[in-house]
Amino acid sequence: MENNPKQVAVELKTAIDDNGEMEYNTVRATGRFFQKASMDVLTYEETPEDGPPIKNMITIYSDRVAVKRTGFVNMHQHFREQKTSENVFQHPHGNIHMETFTNKITYTTLSEHQQGALTIDYSVKLNGQDERSHRLTLTIQHKEDSR
């Protein structure tokens, strides 16, 4: 068990399939990673082009993943294989109801000898509209101490 946060390089890629039209997004940031008894926690901040920073916290358990975003947008999304979850994505331009079905979660924890990797395949319905397929790919690497 380790509570010492490590500074890490984070890369979060999302791919969205909207009826064959693909949309891709990549976020790179420096974050903090720590492990507790039954979970791994990653925190980092992203600064979108169109607004103030968003704080992100990803908590990875053995059977589920929770993603919490606060700041310019607010959201608390849960992923559990073969389950549906609901949440509200709060944005300055309005709230969006999200219904998420998680197909598969694959996770390899960060260790001294290998990078951490999280992949979540899921589908989302926004405000009851047609479902879109999503793939979230997160990589976590030790960041070299630059002191």
Q: Which domains does the chain have, with CATH numbers?
A: 2-142 (2.40.128.20)
| Residue-wise pLDDT tens digits, 63-101 | 999 999 999 899 999 999 999 999 999 988 899 999 999
pLDDT tens-digit map of 15-74: 999 989 999 999 999 999 999 889 999 999 998 887 789 999 999 999 999 999 999 899
Please give the Cα distance from 25 to 50 (Å, whole number). 15
Residue 1 has what pLDDT?
41
User: Residue 146: which pLDDT band, with cuts at 50, 70 and 90?
Assistant: very low
pTM of the model: 0.91
Angle at 95 between CA 103 and CA 21, to 5 degrees: 50
Per-residue tokens: 83: 């389950």
